[in-house]
Amino acid sequence: MGFEVRLEKFDGPLHVLLELIQAQELPITEISLAQVTQGYLRYIETQEVPPSELADFLIVATKLLLIKSQAILPVEQEVFEDDSSKLALQLRLYKEFVDASKILEDLFMNNHTSFERSQADLVKVYPGEIVTNVTSSLLQEAFTGLLKRLEPFFKLQTAALDRVVSVKERLQEIHQAILARANMTFAQIASGGKSKVDIVVSFLALLELVKQRIVSVVQGNAFEEIEIKRVD
């Protein structure tokens, strides 16, 4: 694509001709065309004209050479007059469009722009089924049912929170106790417990204290009393 982009930006033969004439501030006449023939031929030689446009460039070149030869040999002028004035006319008209294109460019580059109403890119909404047999009491029933189903979930959350807090509290309790007494048993700690969960929490707190090397524990046999000692 790179090549094509370059091609599109390439000036046409008439544009090259126009620039040559305007550079010398000449009016667009056959005489001025004859004067810039040399410059035009040099342009074709030195610039890399795209092959697809070379033919167009050469057509203009032959017309220029014709005009130039007429200027040198005025005798034959009558025969070719038509063709040479045609190129000048073509160039003059071309210049009109080039001038007008500047107006268009201004219009294109300024901020004055209209917009059409865009069709919203909405996802199609399907109307869905229309339910007719619903009463407000049915809705209330459904909502109550929903809340009931959610209950275990809320309970679970509270329980989990309780346990975390309890372990931490129990740990501090046991820690205080062991600091005061140096020796104690697990039965003493658990005796204040009201439920199985409480005992489990006490045990977890004890394990944590062991892990932190605050206490050491000894148990003779399975299910026997756990002796707790302070680590000094």
Q: Quick one: 86 or 181, whose CB is closer to other proteins?
A: 86
The end-to-end CA distance of the chain, in Å, is 83
Number of residues lying near other proteins (CB under 8 A): 42
Shortest CB 113 distance to other proteins, Å: 3
Shortest CB 42 distance to other proteins, Å: 19
Q: Which residue from 23, 58, 97, 181 is in contact with other proteins, where contact means CB under 8 A?
A: 97
Report the C-alpha gap between 181 and 179 in whole angstroms: 6
In the region spanning residues 36 to 95, those forming contacts with other proteins, defined by CB under 8 A, are 52-53, 56, 59-60, 86, 89-90, 92-94
Structure tokens, 102: 């500047």
Q: Quick one: 51 or 127, whose CB is closer to other proteins?
A: 51
Q: Quick one: 96 or 151, whose CB is closer to other proteins?
A: 96
Q: Which of 196, 205, 198 is nearest to 228 (CA)?
A: 205
Q: Give me the sign of the Cα torsion angle 70, 74, 76, 80.
A: positive
Q: Is 19 in the site for other proteins (CB under 8 A)?
A: no
Report the C-alpha gap between 177 and 186 in whole angstroms: 12
Q: Quick one: 7 or 197, whose CB is closer to other proteins?
A: 7
Say which amino acid occupies 47. Answer: Q
Shortest CB 87 distance to other proteins, Å: 9
Task: Count the neighbouring beta carbons within 10 Å of the beta carbon of residue 8.
Answer: 8
Q: Quick one: 32 or 166, whose CB is closer to other proteins?
A: 32
Q: Which residue from 75, 79, 109, 125 is in contact with other proteins, where contact means CB under 8 A?
A: 109
CA angle 161, 166, 168 (to 5 degrees): 105
Beta carbons of 219 and 225 less than 8 angstroms apart: yes
Q: Is 116 in the site for other proteins (CB under 8 A)?
A: yes
Beta carbons of 191 and 156 less than 8 angstroms apart: no
Footprint of other proteins (CB under 8 A)? 4, 7-15, 52-53, 56, 59-60, 86, 89-90, 92-94, 96-98, 100-101, 103-105, 107-119
